[in-house]
Structure 1
């Protein structure tokens, strides 16, 4: 469950090393994300995912990120990393979301790419199937990755969302803009990946610490 306090829940995505995991835990991140998508510089093997999942157990929640993955791929990752949440970042339909939710008995988050009010309106179709809608910036046409590109969308577009499902915010968040994002949108979850890196896939402990602090104290500024 997401926090009901003023401060949003925090997810550090693209964790691939014990050092990055420990930095996220030390900064009191509520969730860490493991990427199971071969094209991503943050992709983790099942062996590494198992190690990270064991290290995270009881200390933070583990989210597995998938892009149009097969059932077998999801099942292997759920078991290996002891996932707490499944996050879908591809073109999965509401039916696919509901199927995975029922099959694995885990919360399912669905990322939606946003560039217009119409994109936000599309969330209504999936709100009944997903436990959380994650609004992310739309990747450029032809991009290999659906997210983690450091792109920001117009947060004012979220005023058009009328769905019943809880929602979170991703897309170009960083220590520099997360407080403003929280204040402007009222999001209950912030999700960051490239914004806390010093190179693609290489997490920076200081940026993780700053991001979590700025997100958590946004309402106090």
Structure 2
């Protein structure tokens, strides 16, 4: 089985077109002012409209209030909303109930057993998809909740792919994505900083290399 690929943190039409042309299954847009990949709602809407019916669009939000969540659903109309903050399972359930937009919930991983944090989010009416990402270091001050170029020990996820499909992020690039897929069995691999030439600036050639490598790697079927 071939893994699907998400290119996250896209900010320009040029980078978006490069990702779609190279075969990206998901394209991600970040609405979070602290991120170098931040776009406003109007920018995310324009990018999502370009991607529509060509790749699935994902908007990343961090602890959104109801107003922001509703505006993104109504104005951007993404295929998924990625919640990448400290949203509790109960908060995810409330947001999921506000509309028909599917939700991907990010779970920070740094130590054995952290994958079990996903279980409360997998109950009916909560997250439709789980993303495992490297947890930011505790002493990193204003570190972003994701997109830091950090990885984690992929062996922590041993056996998870036999229970449910998930997405994998955290320090991925064209040089290590094959090994990441082999060790974790991730159904989706998600990259942002690993295809950039500077924070927030995507490199079309790195996008192509990442997609070629990921899509030439097989995932064992559950």
Same-fold call, TM cutoff 0.5: yes
Counterpart position of 2:149: 150
Counterpart position of 2:3: 8
Counterpart position of 1:77: 72
1:145-183 C-alpha deviation (Å, 9 max, x unpaired) = 011010010000002648955311000000111111111
Change (3 A) 1:162 1:62: closer
Question: How far does residue 219 in structure 1 lie from its aligned partner after superposition?
Answer: 2.7
8 Å contact 1:131–1:165 — kept in the other structure? no
> Aligned partners of 1:59 and 1:49: how far apart in 2?
16
Aligned residues: 215
8 Å contact 1:20–1:205 — kept in the other structure? yes
TM-score normalized by structure 2? 0.92
SS state of the match for residue 81, structure 2?
Answer: strand
1:50 and 2:45 equivalent?
yes
Q: CA RMSD in A?
A: 1.6
> Aligned partners of 2:161 and 2:216: how far apart in 1?
27
Listed as ranges, the matches of 1:102-117 within 5 Å are 102-117=97-112
SS state of the match for residue 41, structure 1?
Answer: coil
After alignment, is 61-70 or 153-162 more displaced? 153-162
Among 137, 140, 143, the alignment partner of 2:137 is 140
Counterpart position of 2:214: 215
8 Å contact 1:64–1:85 — kept in the other structure? yes
Q: Which runs of 5+ in 1 are unaligned?
A: 1-5
Counterpart position of 1:123: 118
Q: Which runs of 5+ in 2 are unaligned?
A: none
SS state of the match for residue 10, structure 1?
Answer: strand
Question: How far does residue 78 in structure 1 lie from its aligned partner after superposition?
Answer: 2.0
Listed as ranges, the matches of 1:155-166 within 5 Å are 155-159=154-158, 161=160, 165-166=164-165
